[in-house]
Amino acid sequence: MKFLKIKRLAWVASLAFAIPFTALAQKTDLGIFTGHGDIGDVLKPGSATYNSQKRQYEMAGSGYNVWFDHDEFHYLWKQMKGDFILYTRAALVGEGVDPHRKVGWMVRSSLDGKSAHINAVVHGDGLTSLQFRRTTGANTEEIKAKMTHADVIQLERKGNTYTMRVAKFGEPFVTEQVADLDLGEEVYVGLFIGSHNKDVLERGTFRDVRISVPAPESLVPYRQYLASNLEILDVTTGDRKVVFTHPKSIQAPNWTPDGKTLLYNSDGLMYTFDLAKGQTSVLNTGEIKNNNNDHVLSFDGKMLGLSSGVKELGGSIIYTVPAKGGTPKQITPRGPSYLHGWSPDKKTLVFTGQRDGDFDIYGVPSAGGPEVRLTEAKGLDDGPEYTPDGKYIYFNSARDGNMRLYRMKPDGSEQVPLTDDKFYDWFPHISPDGKWIVFISFLKEEVKADDHPFYKHVYLRLLPISGEGEPKVIAYIYGGQGTINTPSWSPDSKKVAFVSNTMEESLSPVEK
């Protein structure tokens, strides 16, 4: 009955605007969207479905164009208010007929063919642009991107400002923006396809579709939190899968060596997530119940290192506990101490500690004992992690005013930078096969060099263990703090787990 109600409302909406609007929410799965149909006087009816096996939307559409004072195309939509971030990887199917056939994101005031709107679009010939109509029936305007053939499309609304971010997968975004575009508080938000030829039906696919509602300006960091999506990323293809959503903050998944379980923290507790069953359970950590997102499994998966806040001892304190749960053992006598890595032989823990007013990297016996300072440069040093062969420790440092990745020997010698200063790079994680580094990059225009806050536009990037070559973007995420603070590679080195964020849990349903 709920489905029929949605269908009926969509039909009524189309009549209200007196336009042809066919194929509305038929007996198909529309995923996170609520309706679809042809906008304008379309000759060949289009279609839209969600393929749950491939986790992608498949659309067909015709129409003369999206241009001048009116539009004809096929639209898959939902209604939204407030700010949002729309993301997808889009592709047209086949060679096509007209070079200006197109796919992309669109935001409209109404379903009328002359409606005010904005769209981030990629054409069949590769033209990538931000197109918009400021008022009903006005001519369409266009800002062409400084690149072509984008296959990653993001469109963000913040008030009346719309920002398009586009990329060829693997590369950073190129950005264009339109300000003072008032489309109304409640708008239609969705994917679209048009053939640029009224006699032709073109097809397109959209994968990794995400709609995020960003943090409001009023959000108080580290006191208020957004909902979380626990995702798994294929590092070769970039395909993403949401395996769990939660209305609160979950952070920093670790992957167990048997490949069956993820561990994460939430509200001070540690949780396990059974990947086969899709079920979560609290992990027993005794009286230690103020755990943060700096928790790490030993290489053999038998022990878990924790970082837990103890105000009386100066902040975060490191503990170890059996990976199956038990009574934790305190390792560091004072804080702040943030754990990031175990040595392969399990004898040493490496962590970031604030001592004498500066954050440096330290080693400490996993059984307890004196700390050994490994870095002494001024500025924040963070995120230390051993390679699987134990020959190096990778870390990040803001010692030169930029946050970069570094490598050093386990005794702290031969400290060398690996990444440039295009972004602020944090938390290098080494693949179990010892071939790759995955890390998170923050945008310089959004954060300070020594800060890695929640709820920002971030990249996950991939780099050979040697540090040679240009890092490849493997995920474009709304997240930041808690996304991938600690090791999260799958044991076969093919996937990583991470957390993305949104105000509304329902916008990212669990994918099959």
CB distance 72 to 113 below 8 Å: yes
- CB atoms inside a 10 Å sphere around CB 95: 6
Q: Residues 208-214: what's their mean pLDDT?
A: 97
Q: What is the spatial distance between Cα 37 and Cα 192, in angstroms, rounded to a whole number?
A: 10
Q: What is the pLDDT of residue 27?
A: 52
pLDDT bucket at 447, cuts 50 / 70 / 90: very high
Residue type, 250: I
What φ, ψ does residue 16 adopt, rounded to 5°? -60, -30
Question: How far apart are the two ends of the chain, measured CA to CA in Å?
Answer: 24
Q: What is the spatial distance between Cα 478 and Cα 210, in angstroms, rounded to a whole number?
A: 10
Q: What is the spatial distance between Cα 254 and Cα 13, in angstroms, rounded to a whole number?
A: 47
Check pLDDT > 90 for residue 495. yes
CA distances from 242 to 20, 204, 489 (A): 35, 22, 16
Q: What is the pLDDT of residue 24?
A: 40
Phi-psi region of 331 (alpha: psi -120 to 50; beta: other; left: phi over 0): alpha
> Each residue of 125-163: pLDDT tens digit?
999 999 999 999 999 999 999 999 999 999 999 999 999
Q: Residues 27-39: what's their mean pLDDT?
A: 91
Residue 493, classified by CB atoms within 10 Å of its CB into exposed (0-12), middle (13-18) or buried (19+), is middle
Q: What is the spatial distance between Cα 240 and Cα 296, in angstroms, rounded to a whole number?
A: 23
Q: What is the pLDDT of residue 507?
A: 77
Q: Residues 466-494: what's their mean pLDDT?
A: 97
Which residues does residue 167 pair with via DSSP β-bridges, in sequence order? 152
**DSSP secondary structure code for residue 231 in this structure:** E
Q: Residues 213-232: what's their mean pLDDT?
A: 96
Q: Which two tokens stand for residue 489?
A: 């590679």
Q: What is the spatial distance between Cα 309 and Cα 330, in angstroms, rounded to a whole number?
A: 12
Q: Residues 290-298: what's their mean pLDDT?
A: 98
Q: What is the spatial distance between Cα 38 and Cα 29, in angstroms, rounded to a whole number?
A: 17
Q: Residues 497-501: what's their mean pLDDT?
A: 98
Question: Measured in whole angstroms, how far is the alpha carbon of residue 44 from the centre of its chain?
Answer: 36
Check pLDDT > 50 for residue 391. yes
Q: Which two tokens stand for residue 271?
A: 């949780």
What φ, ψ does residue 505 adopt, rounded to 5°? -60, -35
Q: What is the pLDDT of residue 250?
A: 98
Q: Which two tokens stand for residue 181?
A: 């575009």
Q: What is the spatial distance between Cα 230 and Cα 241, in angstroms, rounded to a whole number?
A: 8
pLDDT bucket at 21, cuts 50 / 70 / 90: very low
The SS3 assignment for 160 reads coil
CB distance 91 to 101 below 8 Å: no
Kind of pairing between the strands at 436-442 and 424-430: antiparallel
Is residue 114 within a helix (H) or strand (E), and if so which, with residue range?
none
Pick from 418, 367, 358, 407: which is nearest to 385 by CA?
A: 407
Pick from 68, 190, 211: which is nearest to 120 by CA?
A: 190
Domain spans, the chain: 2-212, 227-507
Q: Which two tokens stand for residue 240?
A: 């993403």
Q: Which two tokens stand for residue 95?
A: 């060679």
> What is the side-by-side strand order in the sheet with 337-342?
337-342, 348-355, 358-365, 372-373
Percent residues over pLDDT 90 in the chain: 92
Check pLDDT > 50 for residue 256. yes
- CB atoms inside a 10 Å sphere around CB 233: 24
Q: Higher pLDDT residue, 6 or 234?
A: 234
Q: What is the spatial distance between Cα 235 and Cα 502, in angstroms, rounded to a whole number?
A: 23
Task: Give the CATH number of domain 2-212.
Answer: 2.60.120.200
- CB atoms inside a 10 Å sphere around CB 170: 15
Q: What is the spatial distance between Cα 499 and Cα 481, in angstroms, rounded to a whole number?
A: 9
Phi-psi region of 111 (alpha: psi -120 to 50; beta: other; left: phi over 0): alpha
Q: What is the spatial distance between Cα 405 and Cα 505, in angstroms, rounded to a whole number?
A: 33
pLDDT bucket at 18, cuts 50 / 70 / 90: very low
0.95 exceeded by pTM: no
Check pLDDT > 60 for residue 483. yes
**DSSP secondary structure code for residue 11 in this structure:** H
∠ CA 117-119-121, nearest 5°, is 155
What φ, ψ does residue 335 adopt, rounded to 5°? -125, 180
Residue type, 368: G
> Each residue of 176-189: pLDDT tens digit?
999 999 999 999 99
Q: What is the spatial distance between Cα 54 and Cα 512, in angstroms, rounded to a whole number?
A: 9
Check pLDDT > 90 for residue 16. no
Q: What is the spatial distance between Cα 387 and Cα 394, in angstroms, rounded to a whole number?
A: 8
Pick from 399, 384, 500, 487: which is nearest to 436 by CA?
A: 487
Q: Residues 306-320: what's their mean pLDDT?
A: 97
Pick from 180, 41, 49: which is nearest to 118 by CA?
A: 180
Q: What is the pLDDT of residue 512?
A: 74
Find tokens 């952070």 and name the residue. 251
Q: Which two tokens stand for residue 119?
A: 């769209």
Q: Which CATH superfamily is domain 227-507 in?
A: TolB, C-terminal domain (2.120.10.30)
Check pLDDT > 50 for residue 469. yes
Q: Residues 54-58: what's their mean pLDDT?
A: 96
